[in-house]
């Protein structure tokens, strides 16, 4: 799923770290996964900062995992990397028609006539229905994605052509075509060989109440979930089966993930970049340490580095040796970073306190020092490039006097003269002292230390505590924090805020990790999702931004440009859609310098 649910644990350290299954190299020449033969061509080596979360699309919302699994699995449609229009991938773009007086819509698709699975059987509408059943199974760990598909009523396969099908929705939804097109398709024969879901009607799974009942009563639903949620399913080459151009060849925990081109890939030779399979192998080299990554560049041991820390990027693009062999490029991205507050913590439960802390951060200085020319300031969850961005909301200025005044208004004062403000909460006097979670990288630390220093100047004791990505995200999901460096990733589509901002979307259901609660915001989010009139929807978007601005659930910081280092051996096209380059379409230049 590529929708706007991608949590950026840190653009600097890569996102969620995880170990693979078992601690040994996974290697299999598997007819099920589609790998045979040996490598006779070239390999693209991509440096990533953390271990992917396996190769099972609906079980991960992390970018790094997607960079790998989108080479193995395919969605029905894709966004054009330049125009952002929906374009065909496994299937045609939908023909959309009204489905009756109840407000539902029918989306007609036809799967590419050449599309086959590794075993040679065709991709059909029945695989689409199965993929939706798997995702909507309430016992499958796909919770963050389910809200995007609750509008689906059913999938109806054409009786005369199993490649043709209709997705019928219960009600209008602004992202319906995007969500359906972004659905990763699994082969039923490989992921449900016993047919456990075959006789369970899809409408019973897309209706939350009936799905919950089934989860308690249906043994087959539980059996399927236990198998599908098995972590080993995402690491075992013999069990990972997709229609994409590559298959897992080897996984060395903490070292690399190596994908090999499928010799029987159905779209081999097609001209579209999105369908290409040009390199024989893609090797995702796991290098968490920045110094080691730089040394790999100097040794020309990697071809692509994404999300390089800004200091290194700025320095290395002036290096005459490296610029002989690499291009250092940047492009505006679809993400922003912030300091997230946990509103369940009494220390920051008051909006005046959160607004005061926002005034202690010199965001302009932060950008000038850490991201010169490589970031834009943001004031809320809508990026300035969106047409419904509320330009009437001013940036919150760095103003320590205003911060001190707001703290006093919120009841904070230094009653014992120890330099830290305090107040009575639930009958006990507590100091405004807390940990600010950070990642163990120079850039993340620099941001959080600057935030802590500004807070100290108005009597707030903020202690920066570093956590590895996996540990930090677990802490956020459990709600055991006061404040944390945080990021959100998006797509260039209309925003659906349900997964991030609805009151009910706290983990594990969604990613409302700050426990933002606002009844008016909930109503607006639900109206946005079904509003088909662009002007009325824009007005709702602007009102939602006003609510967020008043609540100040985060100190909104900046939207960085994506930074890519790529070998001059390759022809490439840049896009703002992460990871900014189509790895599968990297073609050697005729004038490429030898390694």
**Calculated CA dihedral for residues 186, 192, 195, 201, nearest 10 degrees:** -50
E strand or H helix at 50: none
Place of tokens 């972004």: 182
Both tokens of 541, joined, read 């978007």
CA 257 – CA 18 distance, rounded (Å): 13
Q: Is residue 290 part of a domain?
A: no
Residue among 501, 487, 500 nearest 578 (CA): 487
Q: Give the mean model confidence (pLDDT) for residues 360-368.
A: 96
pLDDT at 1 over 70: no
As a whole number, the mean pLDDT across the chain is: 91
Place of tokens 């920045």: 290
Query: What is the predicted pLDDT for the residue at 19?
Result: 28
Evaluate whether 120 touches 264 at the Cβ level (below 8 Å).
yes
Both tokens of 459, joined, read 């009597």
Q: Give the mean model confidence (pLDDT) for residues 116-145.
A: 96
Buried b (16+ CB within 10 A) or exposed e, 4-39: bbbbbbbbbbbbbbbebbeeeebebebebbbbeeee
Query: What is the predicted pLDDT for the residue at 61?
Result: 79
The model's confidence at residue 12, banded by pLDDT at 50, 70 and 90, is very low
pLDDT at 145 over 60: yes
Both tokens of 476, joined, read 């956020």
Query: What is the predicted pLDDT for the residue at 26?
Result: 35
Query: Strand, coil or helix: what is 467?
Result: coil
Q: Is residue 33 part of a domain?
A: no
Q: Give the mean model confidence (pLDDT) for residues 291-318.
A: 94
CA 118 – CA 135 distance, rounded (Å): 22
For residue 340, the enclosing domain spans 335-560
Give 562's strand partners: 331
224 with 355, same domain: the answer is no
The model's confidence at residue 37, banded by pLDDT at 50, 70 and 90, is very low
Q: Which residue has the higher pLDDT, 39 or 249?
A: 249
Which residues are CB-neighbours of 39 under 8 A, at least 6 positions away? 260, 280, 281
User: Of the residues 218, 234, 250, which one is the last residue of a structural domain?
Assistant: 234
Evaluate whether 471 touches 517 at the Cβ level (below 8 Å).
no
pLDDT at 503 over 50: yes
CA 195, 196, 197: angle at the middle one, nearest 5? 95
Query: What is the predicted pLDDT for the residue at 469?
Result: 86
Query: What is the predicted pLDDT for the residue at 63?
Result: 84
Q: Can you give the CATH number for the domain in which 531 is found?
A: 3.10.105.10
pLDDT at 399 over 70: yes
From the number of C-beta atoms within 10 Å of its C-beta (0-12, 13-18, 19+), residue 215 rates as: middle
Q: Is residue 571 part of a domain?
A: no
Q: Is residue 434 part of a domain?
A: yes
Place of tokens 């440096």: 47
| pLDDT tens figures, 267-297 | 999 999 999 999 999 999 999 998 999 999 9
Q: Can you give the CATH number for the domain in which 159 is found?
A: 3.90.76.10
Q: Is residue 499 part of a domain?
A: yes
Share of the chain above pLDDT 70, in %: 92
| Secondary structure percentages of the chain, helix, strand, coil, to 5 | 30, 20, 50
Both tokens of 269, joined, read 């030779």
| pLDDT tens figures, 431-479 | 999 999 998 877 889 999 999 999 999 999 999 999 998 899 999 999 9
Both tokens of 412, joined, read 């904070």
Instruction: Write the DSSP assignment of 520-541 as a string of letters.
Output: HHHHHHHHHHH---HHHHHHHH
Instruction: Write the DSSP assignment of 260-296 as a string of letters.
Output: EE-TT-TTTT-S-GGG---SSEEEEEE---HHHHHHH
371 with 225, same domain: the answer is no
User: Of the residues 176, 200, 234, which one is the last residue of a structural domain?
Assistant: 234
pLDDT at 103 over 80: no
Buried b (16+ CB within 10 A) or exposed e, 173-191: bbbbbbbbbbbbbbbbbbb
Radius of gyration of the chain (CA): 24
Q: Give the mean model confidence (pLDDT) for residues 127-156.
A: 94
The model's confidence at residue 147, banded by pLDDT at 50, 70 and 90, is confident
Q: Is residue 463 part of a domain?
A: yes
357 with 489, same domain: the answer is yes
How far out from the chain centre does Cα 44 lie?
23
pLDDT at 31 over 50: no
> Please, how many CA atoms are within 13 Å of residue 589, restricted to the half-sphere of its CB?
12
Dihedral-angle region of residue 199 (phi above 0 means left; psi in -120 to 50 means alpha; beta otherwise): alpha
User: Of the residues 182, 199, 234, which one is the last residue of a structural domain?
Assistant: 234
pLDDT at 102 over 90: no
Query: What is the predicted pLDDT for the residue at 510?
Result: 86
CA 211 – CA 218 distance, rounded (Å): 10
From the number of C-beta atoms within 10 Å of its C-beta (0-12, 13-18, 19+), residue 567 rates as: buried
Helix H segments across 269-360?
Answer: 290-298, 310-316, 351-359
pLDDT at 195 over 90: yes
Query: What is the predicted pLDDT for the residue at 442?
Result: 78
Query: What is the predicted pLDDT for the residue at 592?
Result: 64
CA 387 – CA 377 distance, rounded (Å): 17
pLDDT at 327 over 60: yes
| pLDDT tens figures, 539-594 | 999 999 999 999 999 999 999 999 999 999 999 999 999 899 999 999 999 876 55
Place of tokens 């589609």: 34
The model's confidence at residue 17, banded by pLDDT at 50, 70 and 90, is very low
Q: Is residue 48 part of a domain?
A: no
Query: What is the predicted pLDDT for the residue at 595?
Result: 61
pLDDT at 10 over 50: no
CA 264 – CA 36 distance, rounded (Å): 9
Place of tokens 């919120």: 410
Query: What is the predicted pLDDT for the residue at 509?
Result: 84
pLDDT at 15 over 50: no
Q: Is residue 63 part of a domain?
A: no
226 with 345, same domain: the answer is no
Query: Based on the structure, what is the number of domains in the chain?
Result: 2
From the number of C-beta atoms within 10 Å of its C-beta (0-12, 13-18, 19+), residue 441 rates as: buried
Q: Give the mean model confidence (pLDDT) for residues 82-104.
A: 88
Q: Give the mean model confidence (pLDDT) for residues 336-357.
A: 97
């Amino acid at each position: 799923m590529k929708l706007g649910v991608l949590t950026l644990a840190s653009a600097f350290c890569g996102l969620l770290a995880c170990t693979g299954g078992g601690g040994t190299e996974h290697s299999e020449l598997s007819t099920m996964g589609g790998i045979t033969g040996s490598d006779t061509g070239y390999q693209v080596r991509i440096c990533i900062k953390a271990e992917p979360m396996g190769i099972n699309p609906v079980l991960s919302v992390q970018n790094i995992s997607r960079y790998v699994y989108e080479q193995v699995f395919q969605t029905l449609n894709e966004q054009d990397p330049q125009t952002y229009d929906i374009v065909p991938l496994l299937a045609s773009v939908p023909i959309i028609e009204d489905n009756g007086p109840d407000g539902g819509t029918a989306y007609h698709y036809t799967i590419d006539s050449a599309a086959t699975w590794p075993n040679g059987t065709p991709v059909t509408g029945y695989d689409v229905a199965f993929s939706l059943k798997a995702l909507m199974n309430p016992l499958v760990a796909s919770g963050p994605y389910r809200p995007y598909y609750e509008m689906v009523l059913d999938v109806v396969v054409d009786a005369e052509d199993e490649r043709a099908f209709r997705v019928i929705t219960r009600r209008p939804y602004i992202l319906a075509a995007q969500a359906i097109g972004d659905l990763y398709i699994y082969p039923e024969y490989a992921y449900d060989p016993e047919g456990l879901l075959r006789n369970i009607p899809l409408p019973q799974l897309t209706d939350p109440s009936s799905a919950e009942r089934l989860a308690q009563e249906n043994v087959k639903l539980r059996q399927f979930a236990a198998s599908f949620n098995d972590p080993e399913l995402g690491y075992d080459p013999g069990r990972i089966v997709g229609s994409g151009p590559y298959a897992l060849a080897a996984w060395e925990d903490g070292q690399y993930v190596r994908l090999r081109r499928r010799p029987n890939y159905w779209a081999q030779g097609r001209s579209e970049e999105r369908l290409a399979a040009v390199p024989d192998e893609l090797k995702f080299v796991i290098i968490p340490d920045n110094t080691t990554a730089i040394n790999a560049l100097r040794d020309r041991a990697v071809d692509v580095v994404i999300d390089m820390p800004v200091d290194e990027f700025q320095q290395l693009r002036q290096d005459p040796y490296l610029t002989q062999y690499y291009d250092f490029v940047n492009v505006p991205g679809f993400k922003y970073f912030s300091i997230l507050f946990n509103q369940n913590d009494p220390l920051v439960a008051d909006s005046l306190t959160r607004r005061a802390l926002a005034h202690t951060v010199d965001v302009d200085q932060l950008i000038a020092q850490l991201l010169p020319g490589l970031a834009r300031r943001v004031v809320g969850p809508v990026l300035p490039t969106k047409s419904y961005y509320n330009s009437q909301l001013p940036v919150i200025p760095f103003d320590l006097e205003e911060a001190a005044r707001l703290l006093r208004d919120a009841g904070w004062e230094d009653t014992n003269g120890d330099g830290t403000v305090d107040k009575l909460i639930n009958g006990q006097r507590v100091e405004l002292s807390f940990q600010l979670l950070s990642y163990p990288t120079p850039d993340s630390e620099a941001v959080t230390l600057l935030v802590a220093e500004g807070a100290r100047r108005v009597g707030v004791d903020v202690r920066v505590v570093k956590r590895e990505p996996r540990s930090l995200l677990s802490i956020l999901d459990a709600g055991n924090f006061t404040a944390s460096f945080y990021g959100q990733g998006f797509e260039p589509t209309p925003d659906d805020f349900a997964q991030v901002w609805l009151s009910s979307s706290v983990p594990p259901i969604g990613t409302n990790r700050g426990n933002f609660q606002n009844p008016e915001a909930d109503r607006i989010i639900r109206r946005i999702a079904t509003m088909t009139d662009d002007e009325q929807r824009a007005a709702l978007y602007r009102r939602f931004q006003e609510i967020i601005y008043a609540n100040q659930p985060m100190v909104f910081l900046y939207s960085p440009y994506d930074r890519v280092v790529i070998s001059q051996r390759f022809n490439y096209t840049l896009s703002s859609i992460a990871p900014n380059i189509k790895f599968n379409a990297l073609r050697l230049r005729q004038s490429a310098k030898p390694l």
